[in-house]
A and B are shown apart, each in its own frame.
Chain A
Amino acid sequence: MTKIGLEIHCQLTNLKSKLFCSCKANYREFQINENICPVCMGLPGSLPRLNQEAVKKATIIAMALNCKTPEKIAFFRKNYFYPDLPKNFQITQLNIYGDTSVGGAGEIMVGNKKIRITRIQLEEDPGRIIYEGSSSKNQITLVDYNRAGTPLVEIVTEPDFENPKQVRDFLNILSDFLENLGVSDPSLEGAMRADANVSIEGGNKVEIKNIGSFHDLEKAVHFEITRQESLHSREIPITQETRHWDDQRKITVSSRSKEEDHDYRYFLEGDIPWVSISPEIRNELKSKMPESISSKKERYVSKYQIPVQVADVLSSDKFYSDLFEESHTVENAKEIANIITTDLMGLVDTREKRKDSKFTATHLKDLADSIQSGRISRNSAKNALYEIVQTGKSLSQIISELDLGNVSNESELSHIIEEIISEEPQAVEQAKSNPKAINYLVGKVMQKTKGKADPALTLNLLKSRLISND
């Protein structure tokens, strides 16, 4: 029985400031060591000041994962020396004096599998390290503290995963989940990291650290399972240890040789009192929580009859569901969902494209209404969509600029039909006997009108014209 557990670190990138000081939470735009202050640098005499919104967001995460949330939370020091740790201790959470981290004993469904959440804790991120120097003699470590103090939520699961695919699915679901809650943008580089622990056949648990991406996580877990199975089959016992993922060689390597005796000397952080989160506040947080992905999906399917696959895509991506929520009415919901998941998707499939896109909910509403009213054809709508994403101009403007409006004026259309009939005498003859051949003529009308002819009206007019010709 393979057992895999995860420790996921998620940065609360939607916060404005760090966990214990007012430097910026999202450090990515800064020059080296320019997003620092005496507190996050751990200068002598500095003291941590806890971020209220961070506690609230962490509590929301815990609630959304169905965790128990205690009335009082506490912070502890984890003491060890490392260059990326300005104070040489990390302020984090533990549960050694009762339940004092933001959440515990929760669960989340991954398909049909229930994954139990052991605990959720709030803690600070360390700084970033790069190594410089080629020979062992001149090697030094370079440290950038811009990230030090960034708020992290650590989510620890029970070893409920049975295979690497489940792990990968879970991480994708969790990503969407956290984005939907409005607490983090997982697409930001480094915003979500994870470590894993693996055991097989009831044997010892091996921790794997230093995994750079979710893609690597799946590989690392896969490798580790294989490694353990190989040992097991040769009746070699599996040592309980910590291994790190070697991205070059694509293997896990024992950290034992460089691992010192880690005695963290945990004790309560004396600079932060226990934080009381009253039932009133917790209820308020709960009531203001954004609707969950599964609830949205259900609503889309049952209320608007949106097809299940479409609803899936729509609900699990916050960018799309936000657009949908803002623009839809009961009448146009299906159309809106359709536009988003077919034509829009390809135009905004990356973070950069979404950032640059000038497309708004108003545009979307206009588009859907115009299609439904026949003002423009679906084909034209596709072109208009592209233009709007690039320029942000209103639909009306684009329709007139690019002359996209449907030709739905009967007399105008009849005029064009006359032209086609005179141009295509053979097809006209064929169409009288073969109904399917009429589509060729419809196609010609569409061509002549650059796709703006209302197809249904064209067909009707053609039919009646051909009949009347007899």
Chain B
Amino acid sequence: MVTQEEITRVSKLMKIEIDDHREYVDKVKKMIGYFDVLDSAGVESEEISMPEIQISSLREDKHIPFSDKLIEKINHYKGTYIHAPKMSS
């Protein structure tokens, strides 16, 4: 069960503007509602597993500068700083 409040909270969290368009919200609720089927899977006691790597296989600690002047390729602006909007105070 997903409430309108939840939808509003999550849209703020994910920085996604949603129009309160019923159809849109309905689809999201339907999708999440489908996941209720997980409740009958009976997996409470399962452990979560992950692949492993040995510490000796990790990257060697070396300074290798990136080959290009990266900032020129990604900066919209001609300056050197990246510009971001002001923070609310």
Contacts and interface: CB of A to CB of B under 8 A. Distances in A.
Are A and B in direct contact (Cβ within 8 Å)?
yes
Interface of A: 15-17, 22-25, 31-38, 41, 43, 49-56, 72, 74, 81, 83, 97, 129-131, 133, 136, 139-145, 258, 260-261, 263, 265, 268, 272-278, 281
B12 A143 contact: no
B60 to A, nearest CB: 6
B1 interface: no
A17 B58 CA distance: 13
A275 B53 CA distance: 5
A460 B12 CA distance: 90
Contacts of A133: 86
B86 A17 contact: no
Nearest to B15: A81
B55 A276 contact: yes
Nearest to A144: B81
Given A258-B89, A276-B55, A17 B63 contact: yes
A33 B82 contact: yes
A268 B64 contact: no
A22 B58 CA distance: 12
Contact of B61 (A52, A97, A261): A52
Given A140-B86, A272-B53, A274-B53, 16 more contacts: A16-B63, A33-B71, A36-B66, A51-B61, A52-B61, A53-B60, A83-B85, A83-B87, A130-B81, A136-B86, A263-B13, A268-B50, A275-B54, A276-B52, A277-B55, A278-B55
Nearest to B58: A52
Interface residues of B, number: 36
Interface string B56-72: 10111111111001110
Contacts of B52: 72, 273-276
B80 interface: yes
B9 interface: yes
Contacts of B69: 34
Nearest to B50: A274
A235 B27 CA distance: 51
B50 to A, nearest CB: 5
Interface string B40-53: 00000000101111
B83 interface: yes
A15 B59 contact: no
Contacts of B51: 273-274
Contacts of B60: 52-53
B3 to A, nearest CB: 15
Contacts of A145: 82
A51 B58 contact: yes
User: 5 closest Cβ contacts across the A-B interface?
Assistant: A53-B61, A52-B58, A83-B84, A37-B66, A142-B81
B31 interface: no
B4 interface: no
A23 B50 contact: no
A130 B86 CA distance: 10
14 contacts: A15-B61, A22-B59, A22-B64, A23-B63, A24-B65, A52-B56, A131-B87, A141-B84, A142-B83, A263-B13, A274-B53, A275-B55, A276-B55, A281-B55
Nearest to B66: A37
A143 B84 contact: yes
Contacts of A139: 86
B80 A22 contact: no
B87 A52 contact: no
A74 B62 contact: no
Contacts of B84: 83, 129, 140-143
B62 A17 contact: yes
